[in-house]
Chains A and B, each alone.
Chain A
C-alpha cells in the first residue's frame, strides 16, 4: 500500500470518527446557558469539528499527491513501515485478558498465565524450561519487589487469591 492510499484510508476513518463523535456530542451533552456559561458541550464539539476539518484536509492532500500536484510526504517519512496487525490485535486481546484475570485471580496467577501465553503465542518459545523460568521468575520477582518491599497493592482476585 502506498503512503497516499494509507493516508486516504486514515483520512476516511478519522472523518467517520469525527462525524460520530460530533453527532454524539450534540445528542448527549447539554449546551451552556450563555451569558458566560460556556457549558460542557462547546469544547468537545469544537474538537470534533476540528478533527473533521483536519481529516478532510488530509484527504484533499492525499488526492492532490496521488495526482502528482503536490510533493510527496517530506523527508523522514520512510515508506512502508508496515503495521503488524496480528501481533497488535493479539496483544490487545492479551492485555484485556490480563485485566480480567487480575480481577478474578489476583496478581500471581494472572501474571504467570499471561507470561506463558505471551511466550507461547507471540514469541513462539516451545521450551517448557524457558517458559517456566520466565513466568515464575518474573512473577515472583515483581511480587517480592512490589508487594513485599515497595508496598504497592497488587490486584487481589475475587475468585481465588494467592499471596
Chain B
C-alpha cells in the first residue's frame, strides 16, 4: 500500500536513494504524486490535452491530471502557473498565447517565466465563408468586400485571442483591415454563426470546419500556414493565393522557470513517447492537428523566435499594449 509516509525526511530520502541514484539525495524520484496539467482553452486544445495527459500518465507511472483554467485568452492559467512551485508537479499545456497575452498586456510576465518541456503539436488556422456567398478564393472575398459599403463581420474566439490576431494579420495583408468588424464567440460557436449567416467569415481551426465543408455548407478559402493541412487537402494556403502571411500555432508543455533539469527531462521523455505513440498519431488525423514533437531546447528557440515575431506583428496591427 502507499500508506507509507511520504515526507521529505531522511527515511524517505534514504529509501529513494537506495532505489534510484540518479536523482538528488534530498528528493524522492519524480514523480511521486500526480502531476497537474493546466489547460488554458476548451475545444481542440482540451481534447488533445485529455489524450496527451492520459498517454503521459502511463509513461510516468503517476496520473497527469488535466485541470481546466480557462479565460482571458490564457491569462487565467498562465497567472496561476506563474505562482506555482517549480517542482514539475504543475505543468501547463501552453501555446503561442503566451506571447499574445503578454504583448496585449494581460499578463505582467512573458515566456521567460516558464521553462519549455517539449513542443507537441501544431495547428493552422483556416478562413471559411458561407457557401451561399459564392466566394471561392480570397481574391473574390476581397473584391466583394471592397465593392460593398458594409463591413465584413468576422467571427473570432475572443478579443486578443490567437484567431483574432490571425484574422487581423490576414485582413491587413489583404488590404481590407478597415472593412472588418470582429465578433467574439466563445465555445466554438463561430462555425454555426457562419452557417446561419449572421457573420460573413470566420477564422477557426480546420477540425471545426471540415464537416461543414464536406457537406457543402461552408467554403474554406485559405489556411494561413506555409503548407496545406492534411485534413483539408484541397484548401490552398494564403501564400499560394498571393497573400504574404504565414501564421500557425504550436502547442506544447512548459513548467514554471526554475524547474530542475532532470524533472524537465523526465517530462520531455514522457511527452516524446506520448506523441510518438500510435494512439496520438491516430487521433491527430481525426481531430485535425499535426503532431510536431520538438525537444526542450528546440522548443525554447521556437518560443523565443515566435515571441519576437508576434511582438512586431501586434505592434504593427496596433494591438500591442
Interfacial residues, chain A to chain B (CB-CB below 8 A): 36, 151, 153, 156, 158, 160-163
Task: For B89, give the chain A residue with the smallest CB separation.
Answer: A156
From B2-10, B209-217, B225-233, the one touching the partner chain is B2-10
Q: Could you say which residues of chain A place their CB within 8 Å of the CB of B85?
A: 158
The 5 closest A-B pairs by CB, nearest first: A161-B6, A156-B33, A160-B7, A153-B34, A153-B65
Please tell me if the beta carbons of A163 and B3 are within 8 angstroms of each other in the complex. yes
Which residues in chain B, 15-50, are within 8 Å of chain A measured between CB atoms?
Answer: 33-34
- B63 on the interface (CB 8 Å rule)? yes
Q: Could you say which residues of chain B place their CB within 8 Å of the CB of A163?
A: 2-3
- Distance in angstroms between the alpha carbons of A6 and B85 in the assembled complex: 47
Q: Nearest-CB distance from A29 to chain B (Å)?
A: 14
Task: For B36, give the chain A residue with the smallest CB separation.
Answer: A153
- Distance in angstroms between the alpha carbons of A40 and B85 in the assembled complex: 32
Q: Nearest-CB distance from B71 to chain A (Å)?
A: 13
- Distance in angstroms between the alpha carbons of A163 and B6 in the assembled complex: 8
- Distance in angstroms between the alpha carbons of A153 and B37 in the assembled complex: 13
> Can you name 16 extra interface pairs (CB under 8 A) apart from A153-B63, A156-B33, A162-B5?
A36-B181, A151-B63, A153-B34, A153-B65, A156-B34, A158-B85, A160-B5, A160-B6, A160-B7, A161-B6, A161-B7, A161-B33, A162-B3, A162-B6, A163-B2, A163-B3
A-B contact pairs, 17 of them (CB 8 A): A36-B181, A151-B63, A153-B34, A153-B65, A156-B33, A156-B34, A158-B85, A160-B5, A160-B7, A161-B6, A161-B7, A161-B33, A162-B3, A162-B5, A162-B6, A163-B2, A163-B3
How many A-B residue pairs have C-beta atoms within 8 angstroms? Tell me: 19
Q: Nearest-CB distance from B289 to chain A (Å)?
A: 27
Q: Could you say which residues of chain B place their CB within 8 Å of the CB of A160?
A: 5-7
Task: For B32, give the chain A residue with the smallest CB separation.
Answer: A161
Interfacial residues, chain B to chain A (CB-CB below 8 A): 2-3, 5-7, 33-34, 63, 65, 85, 181
- Distance in angstroms between the alpha carbons of A163 and B4 in the assembled complex: 7
Q: Could you say which residues of chain B place their CB within 8 Å of the CB of A36?
A: 181
Q: Could you say which residues of chain A place their CB within 8 Å of the CB of B181?
A: 36
Q: Could you say which residues of chain A place their CB within 8 Å of the CB of B34?
A: 153, 156
- Distance in angstroms between the alpha carbons of A162 and B181 in the assembled complex: 56
Chain A CB count within 10 A is highest, among B6, B63, B85, for: B6
Task: For A163, give the chain B residue with the smallest CB separation.
Answer: B2
Q: Nearest-CB distance from B303 to chain A (Å)?
A: 29
Q: Could you say which residues of chain A place their CB within 8 Å of the CB of B33?
A: 156, 161
- Distance in angstroms between the alpha carbons of A156 and B63 in the assembled complex: 13
Q: Could you say which residues of chain A place their CB within 8 Å of the CB of B2?
A: 163
- Distance in angstroms between the alpha carbons of A156 and B181 in the assembled complex: 48
Task: For A143, give the chain B residue with the smallest CB separation.
Answer: B3
Q: Nearest-CB distance from B56 to chain A (Å)?
A: 15
- Distance in angstroms between the alpha carbons of A6 and B293 in the assembled complex: 64
Q: Nearest-CB distance from B256 to chain A (Å)?
A: 15
Chain B CB count within 10 A is highest, among A36, A151, A158, A162, for: A162
Task: For A108, give the chain B residue with the smallest CB separation.
Answer: B3
Q: Could you say which residues of chain B place their CB within 8 Å of the CB of A162?
A: 3, 5-6
- Distance in angstroms between the alpha carbons of A136 and B2 in the assembled complex: 17
Task: For A147, give the chain B residue with the smallest CB separation.
Answer: B2
Task: For A36, give the chain B residue with the smallest CB separation.
Answer: B181
Q: Could you say which residues of chain B place their CB within 8 Å of the CB of A161?
A: 6-7, 33
Q: Nearest-CB distance from B135 to chain A (Å)?
A: 25
- Distance in angstroms between the alpha carbons of A146 and B45 in the assembled complex: 28
Task: For B4, give the chain A residue with the smallest CB separation.
Answer: A162
Q: Nearest-CB distance from B178 to chain A (Å)?
A: 14
Q: Nearest-CB distance from B30 to chain A (Å)?
A: 14
Task: For B7, give the chain A residue with the smallest CB separation.
Answer: A160
Q: Nearest-CB distance from A141 to chain B (Å)?
A: 15
Q: Could you say which residues of chain A place their CB within 8 Å of the CB of B6?
A: 160-162
- Distance in angstroms between the alpha carbons of A110 and B18 in the assembled complex: 30
Q: Nearest-CB distance from B67 to chain A (Å)?
A: 9
Q: Nearest-CB distance from B169 to chain A (Å)?
A: 21
- Distance in angstroms between the alpha carbons of A163 and B34 in the assembled complex: 12
Q: Could you say which residues of chain A place their CB within 8 Å of the CB of B65?
A: 153
Q: Nearest-CB distance from A45 to chain B (Å)?
A: 20
Q: Nearest-CB distance from A130 to chain B (Å)?
A: 24
- Distance in angstroms between the alpha carbons of A69 and B61 in the assembled complex: 73
